[in-house]
Amino acid sequence: MFKRFPWFSCILSLLLSTALYQPVNAIELDEATLTVPLNTSGKTTILTPEQVKRGKRLFNNTCSQCHNGGITKTNPNVGLDPEGLSLATPPRDNIEGLIDYMKNPTSYDGAESIAELHPSIKSAEIFPKMRNLTDDDLFTIAGHILIQPKVVLEKWGGGKIYY
């Protein structure tokens, strides 16, 4: 059959190779996955696929040295998982809360500024990677952080068990 229809083997090879190289944890980025909390009042926003892609790139370039996989290397008790973000003061489990944190970070209980210890817009002179980030950049980074639990599930912020 392959000798009679040589194009058939090419198509079959293409279909098999495409199926074999799909990421195991890949899920379709549907509207539910792309919908994230905007603020503490319950308002949500839907990220575009472009924002997701850009947020991942910016997160990897700016944040992943200390937060690879949603963990916090300097303090394993505080991660970027939904529970950890929601229990912070103020809550950081929404876009506005994360942007506020990236501009002016505070301790987990919100009592004191940690801008000299944690990269932020406020401390961009100490942390050069923060210098050129715009509000749109911070929005997409926050979006990336918030959709990861939907994409990689319990691995996000799972610590040494997964990373």
Domains and CATH numbers, the chain: 28-161 (1.10.760.10)
d(CA 22, CA 49): 18
Read off the pLDDT of each residue in 82-100 and give the average, rounded to a whole number: 97
Exposure on the CB side of residue 102, measured as CA atoms within 13 A: 28
pLDDT at position 41 over 50: yes
> Which of the residue ranges 24-33, 45-54, 65-74, 77-86 would you say has the lowest mean pLDDT?
24-33
Q: How confident is the model at residue 77 (pLDDT cuts 50, 70, 90)?
A: confident
Q: Which residues of 12-31 are buried (b: 16+ CB within 10 A; e: fewer)?
A: eeeeeeeeeeeeeeeeebee
d(CA 96, CA 40): 8
Residue 45 backbone dihedrals phi, psi, to 5 degrees: -140, 155
Q: 28 or 92: whose pLDDT is higher?
A: 92
Q: What is the pLDDT of residue 17?
A: 41
Contact (CB, 8 A) for 2 and 9 = yes
Residues of each annotated binding site for heme c: 63, 66-67, 118
Question: Which residue reads 């932020």 in tokens?
Answer: 120
Q: Report the length, in residues, of the chain.
A: 163
pLDDT at position 119 over 50: yes
Residues of each annotated binding site: 63, 66-67, 118
Q: How confident is the model at residue 104 (pLDDT cuts 50, 70, 90)?
A: very high
